[in-house]
Amino acid sequence: MSKKVRQNKIIEIISTNEIDTQEELAQILNSSGFDVTQATVSRDVKELGLIKINGIKRKHRYSIT
Amino acid sequence: MSKKVRQNKIIEIISTNEIDTQEELAQILNSSGFDVTQATVSRDVKELGLIKINGIKRKHRYSIT
DNA sequence: GCTGAATAGAAATTCAAG
DNA sequence: CTTGAATTTCTATTCAGC
């Protein structure tokens, strides 16, 4: 699978799920057939420019910018 | 010093400096007379809803939402 | 309620390797 | 150029204490 496909999947995942951690994201990716580790997710998050929202109400989740 | 004053200072600091880490922010606060640790900065960051921008271009810095 | 010290937990990077 | 394992670095939380 290409990186691009995986990154599209990441966008889809965080759009439909409340993702707290990169580990969690990696697990969902694995369940979806993308065999990746947290290290790669970290790189994808960076490339995609994703941010971690950490506000007082909306606690802890990844989001697209 | 009140928490509110400190948090205003934080906004000012991240608006005028490129801050990478909470430790760094804590140090600048200390230099400015606010005696705090990273733990408190972490709580302030959360309350203020600050985000850490981690994009491929704009690397690593705190920003207001 | 606000905070610091210590710790747990999460994320980024290094260091190969393919 | 992409990745995983291991490690480092950074952040959040716990557990007092005030």
- Whether B30 has a pLDDT exceeding 80, the answer reads yes
For chain B, give percent helix, strand, coil, nearest 5. Answer: 55, 10, 35
- What pLDDT band is residue A59 in, cutting at 50, 70 and 90? low
Among A46, A47, A53, select the one facing B51 at the smallest CB separation.
Answer: A53
Amino acid B55: pLDDT: 64
- What pLDDT band is residue B58 in, cutting at 50, 70 and 90? low
Average pLDDT over residues B37-48: 96
Closest nucleotide (CA of A39 to C1')? D4
A-chain CB neighbours of B56 within 8 Å are 46-47, 49
- Whether B59 has a pLDDT exceeding 80, the answer reads no
Whole-angstrom Cα Rg for chain B: 11
- What pLDDT band is residue A24 in, cutting at 50, 70 and 90? very high
Does the C-beta of A39 come within 7 A of strand D? yes
